[in-house]
Amino acid sequence: MHRPGWAPWGNRPVTLLRGCYPPCGNFYGVRFDATPLHKRISRVLPQPTVRWRLTLLYSGLFVLCGVVLLLITYWLFANFADSAPKAFGGPSGAPLARVDAAMSVQRSLGLQRLRLGSAIALGVMTLVSGVLGWVVAGRVLAPLKTITAATERISDSNLNERLAMPGPRDELRSLADTIDRLLERLETAFDAQRRFVANASHELRTPLAMMRTTLDVAIAKPGGVPSQTRELDAELRVDLDHADRLLESFLTLARAQNGQIGDRHEVALEPLITAGLASREYEIAAKLLTVDTDLTAVQVSGSSTLLGRMIDNVLDNAVLHNQPGGSIEVMLAARRPGRARLTIDTSGPPLDPDAVAQLAQPFKRLGDDRIGSQHGHGVGLSIVGAIAAAHGGGLDLRARPEGGLRVEITLPGTAVTEPAEVPA
């Protein structure tokens, strides 16, 4: 005898089927799926929607009420249909028993016809109630679909939008008003955060300027300064330059998140990309990177300064975080009317898709290679996403299956036959 749930030869545990002991068949040592049958069936069958549930509820209630009504009608017909006075015989002197038998047969036929007609009517009305229940459920759930679609459309870039659901003050109206109040609180919180970043960046510029002035005064002494002091001065100026660039990034991010684009122009993206790659020739050559471009002349309505900053940031990201001897692929095209797409693929090791999706947030980095002041500030892709959103576009970050990162920027733009000039 072997112990329940154990193979007789190897002390290897096996999972037995529910209600099957000893193990079914001769498959000792084989692990069976002990999941209940109803759960396994639920994995295969599609989950019912709320509309289907309401339809079944409406139809079920109608069928139940119809059955009760027919039973009451049948009982009344069966008990009170034979209340007519008894016949006392006909002119030919037919016996009374024969007349009663004929009436009983007629009554039975009537009841049979009533049952058949009631069943047919109940079947037809069941189908009709199913169709009507589906339509009514759709009408009832239509406001919920509107609320869901509007809520999915609202993001951190358009928190000023509201559902503003019309109609009577019922449960659905109360739900929409609650979501509107939640969006109002979120908009207030986001605006306070953006104002804090912008104000803090402005306020920090003054002490940084004072520090730089103090260094200038200390180095410009008539009697000269020791070499250690000059080395310290050089290190401090590097840190001050880094702080200045970080504050400038904060200001750009706050400006883009607030939608402060300024005067709009028709900006050609192809010259901006070409100029950006040309200004990074030294860094590209130092890392032995291979650059492939496939650029189409595309115009975007917006700020040339912000769009130039967006392209510079994404190119800096492609060069700084690339591996030596890697590759950069830059593609610009108008995929469909009214939409332009800029795609930049960079080589590198395989990345975690979940971590890549968080790179658009400020100070989010991947791994140790993206930590440190020499590898940027951690807000570059945040600025890219904010600028793209301010121009009516979006940013999509994906981990490439072969390794590296893919950056896709979509913007409202049109292809042109001749490249347009970049506004000064």
166 domain-assigned: no
pLDDT given for residue 147 in this prediction? 85
- Among 210, 235, 257, residue at a domain's last position: 257
Domain containing 276: what range?
A: 265-415
Do 241 and 337 share a domain, yes or no?
A: no
Do 226 and 304 share a domain, yes or no?
A: no
What is the phi-psi region of residue 304: left when phi exceeds 0, alpha when psi lies from -120 to 50, beta otherwise?
A: alpha
250 domain-assigned: yes
92 domain-assigned: no
306 domain-assigned: yes
Do 272 and 241 share a domain, yes or no?
A: no
- Among 257, 291, 326, residue at a domain's last position: 257
Give the total number of structural domains in the chain: 3
pLDDT given for residue 141 in this prediction? 85
pLDDT given for residue 21 in this prediction? 43
pLDDT given for residue 4 in this prediction? 45
- Rounded alpha-carbon distances, angstroms, from residue 174 to 50, 142, 165, 182, 188: 20, 15, 9, 12, 21
Do 183 and 147 share a domain, yes or no?
A: no
420 domain-assigned: no
CA 409/CA 314 separation, integer angstroms: 10
- Among 153, 180, 214, residue at a domain's last position: 153
Do 307 and 242 share a domain, yes or no?
A: no
pLDDT given for residue 12 in this prediction? 43
Do 122 and 241 share a domain, yes or no?
A: no
422 domain-assigned: no
pLDDT given for residue 258 in this prediction? 66
pLDDT given for residue 368 in this prediction? 45
Span between the terminal Cα atoms of the chain, in Å:
91
For the full predicted model, state whether its pTM sits above 0.75: no
Task: List per-block mean pLDDT (blocks of 10 residues) for the chain, which spans 424 residues.
Answer: 43 43 45 60 66 87 88 81 51 60 77 84 87 87 84 74 80 85 82 70 75 80 76 82 72 66 79 91 91 90 84 89 91 83 90 77 54 54 82 87 89 71 48
CA 287/CA 283 separation, integer angstroms: 6
Do 312 and 334 share a domain, yes or no?
A: yes
Do 211 and 347 share a domain, yes or no?
A: no
pLDDT given for residue 156 in this prediction? 64
295 domain-assigned: yes
- Domain holding 243: CATH number? 1.10.287.130
Do 65 and 134 share a domain, yes or no?
A: yes
Do 318 and 200 share a domain, yes or no?
A: no
For residue 324, which amino acid is it?
Answer: P
- Domain holding 276: CATH number? 3.30.565.10
CA 407/CA 395 separation, integer angstroms: 7
10 domain-assigned: no
Do 306 and 401 share a domain, yes or no?
A: yes
Do 245 and 188 share a domain, yes or no?
A: yes
